[in-house]
Amino acid sequence: MKADLHNHTTASDGTYTPEKLVQLAQRKKIDVLSVTDHDTTAALPQIESACKKAGIQFISGIEISCHVDDEEVHILAYGIPQNSEKLEAFLQLQLQDRLRRLKEILVQLEKVQVDLSFDDVKHHIHSESAAGRPHVARALVYKGYAPSIHEAFRRYLVPGTSGYVPRQKIAAEKVLQLILEVRALPVLAHPGLIKKQEHLESLVDQGLAGIEAYHPIHAAWQRAQYEKWATERKLLVTGGSDFHGDQKKGHGSLGSIAIPQTHIEHFLSRVN
């Protein structure tokens, strides 16, 4: 059985529409597919109906950005309800914070004679749920304030520069509570990206149900280490390509991560 449990569409920062993603999954002979857009459930109804037609088992999912202390972590949730008022209200607050922060960045930039309007940036945003620094960077390049995206970040958008404004920090503990409340399964995405590995233990204490050991950024030894760690704690082991449709570092191509059958079966026996 072939599964890919971590993917993005145009509803967040992916480049494939829900329909195109499912078509590709069909060509890649994927049996179980979960789409986990950043902070939005917008693509799920389309993915679900396309999967039904394609004979692919669909698992509803999302990837939520939050913090443990000062460190950003991404928590995947599987088997989420698609009409939960509680979840949607939370996502709406995340969205409002993104837009608030975007506007603050523009105010900061104005102080250093960078003249960008909200419309200049909006032009580069295809999904509000992912609106952020990358879109400001594109607008900065477009208007000639920087020669490249990389330079735009370096000059204006990283901590210590004029346009850096952090997003509101949501505690991972709160996000875990919310996911458990809506009876979904919380899984830590790409744990290898976390600098302070001791955070993993506190997340488990707060209700984490699994860990994404199989991810393109992990070397074989990391995968083995996370697998062992999860097994000792009776946690689920999941995996996915983190496909975004592009060739960005850290993102795989759809279906490129082989997850062992026992992990897939264990996951399917637990998820809604």
For residues 118 and 103, give the distance between their C-alpha atoms in angstroms, rounded to a whole number: 7
What is the phi/psi pair of residue 185, to 5°? -105, 115
Binding region for ligand AMP (CB under 6 A) out of 45-53, 106-114, 126-134, 232-240: 126-134
Q: Out of 149, 170, 193, 217, name the contact with ligand AMP by CB under 6 A.
A: 149
Q: What is the 8-class DSSP label of residue 193?
A: G
153 binds ligand AMP (CB under 6 A): yes
Looking at beta carbons, which residue is closest to Fe ion? 74
Q: Where are the beta strands (DSSP E) in the chain?
A: 3-4, 32-35, 57-68, 71-78, 185-188, 210-214, 236-239
- Contact pattern from residue 53 through residue 82 relative to Fe ion, giving x for each residue in contact according to CB under 5 A and a dash for the rest: ---------------------x--------
For residues 265 and 260, give the distance between their C-alpha atoms in angstroms, rounded to a whole number: 9
Q: Out of 52, 53, 150, 183, name the contact with ligand AMP by CB under 6 A.
A: 150
Number of H-type helices and E-type strands within the chain: 10, 7
67 binds ligand AMP (CB under 6 A): no
Pick between residue 63 and residue 227 the one whose CB is nearest to Zn ion. Answer: 63
Task: List beta partners, residue 243.
Answer: 7
From the list Fe ion, Zn ion, ligand AMP, none, partner contacted by residue 182 (C-beta under 5 to 8 A by kind): none
Q: Out of 4, 13, 212, 227, name the contact with Fe ion by CB under 5 A.
A: 13
Pick between residue 5 and residue 200 the one whose CB is nearest to Zn ion. Answer: 5
> Pairing between strand 185-188 and 3-4?
unpaired
- Contact pattern from residue 74 through residue 93 relative to ligand AMP, giving x for each residue in contact according to CB under 6 A and a dash for the rest: --------------------
Pick between residue 125 and residue 271 the one whose CB is nearest to ligand AMP. Answer: 125
Burial class (CB within 10 angstroms; exposed 0-12, middle 13-18, buried 19+) of 183? exposed
Q: What is the 8-class DSSP label of residue 254?
A: T
132 binds ligand AMP (CB under 6 A): yes
Pick between residue 20 and residue 122 the one whose CB is nearest to Zn ion. Answer: 20
Pick between residue 74 and residue 223 the one whose CB is nearest to Fe ion. Answer: 74
C-alpha distances out from residue 50 to 29, 57, 127, 170, 178, Å: 14, 10, 21, 33, 28
- Residue numbers of the site for ligand AMP (CB under 6 A)? 132-134, 149-150, 153
